[in-house]
Amino acid sequence: MSGKINVLVTGGAGFIGSHLVDALLEDGNYKVTCIDSFDDFYDPQIKRENISRHLENDQYSLIEADIRNTDQLLLKLEGKIDIIVHLAAKAGVRESIRKPVLFQEINVAGLQSILEIARIKGTKQFVFGSSSSVYGINPNYPWSESDSNLLPVSPYAASKIAGEWLCRTYQHMHGIRFVALRFFTVFGPRQRPDLAINNFAQKIISGKPIDFFGDGNTLRDYTYVADIVSGIIAAMKYDKTMFEVVNLGNNHPVSLSEMVATLEAVLNRKAVLNKLPMQEGDVPSTCADITKAKGILGYHPATSFEEGIKKFVAWKLG
């Protein structure tokens, strides 16, 4: 075990988290502890399948627990923690409008719990999974970290802004280095079933109508999960300054209509569209300025949208 870097990944059985754990275990220099609650937002068996191979690795351990329960987690967490990657969160813009208090409890109070663990354990490096949702309806495209004009339009987005400020506070008080990563519409194998690409693909395959909100011109900066993981690992190694907020996107927005057309082409099936008005909490466009990520993390997204969709479909049909 000597020489291993001890990493705690919260939400490590989820979509992004399980891909990160894949990469860390494959690297061989890390000992990984995963915390996940396996909540019922979607079928918990999906997460269990995500980590089935991890459980066979002696450098991996799993703690099934709620991140809000600091005392319980401290009883289960043995030894030092060199790096924390905090990906656990209650996700979903629309769901947050329906359940704002729950989102506050998990995304803010839950983060507070993990920050306390970092303080108590003497952790020196903390990577926080934030979101492009914090920019909200900011019209200044592409969105830059230097722009303070954050205009969130959902409780989920507000909870992520609060998280960034909590991290900044702990950096000031306790000398922990933080990198907050604003993820832009991550997609790829293991994507949550409620997210658009997976949801749409499933309905195209089964011949069911897709709920198609708006006129099809909304834009999303879709970012392939392997590129996101490369950015997270770079953030784990970052050591120049004590607090940074960094966009992780692809800088190539894709329209809703183009997304559906790409799925149709790769699946070789036509979609049935149920056209509906825009939903509350949706933003018209997202686009990441990734200049900073390139400069301080050496981040270079390598997967085009079409290539990513082909990989996603291969997983979906596999």
- Provide DSSP, 93-116: HHHHHH-HHHHHIIIIIHHHHHHH
Give the residue carrying structure tokens 């979903």: 92
Q: Strands 5-10 and 125-131, how do they pair?
A: unpaired
User: Residue 121, exposed/middle/buried by CB under 10 A (0-12, 13-18, 19+)?
Assistant: middle
Question: Which of 156, 170, 224, 299 is labelled catalytic?
Answer: 156
- Confirm if 216 and 290 have CB atoms less than 8 A apart: no
User: Could you give the count of Cα atoms lying within 13 Å of 199 in the half-sphere of its Cβ?
Assistant: 10
CB 82 within 8 A of CB 7: yes
The β-bridge relationship of strands 177-183 and 243-248 is parallel
Tell me if residue 156 is catalytic. yes
Reduced DSSP (H G I as helix, E B as strand, rest coil) percent helix, strand, coil of the chain, to 5: 45, 20, 35
- Which residues carry out catalysis? 156
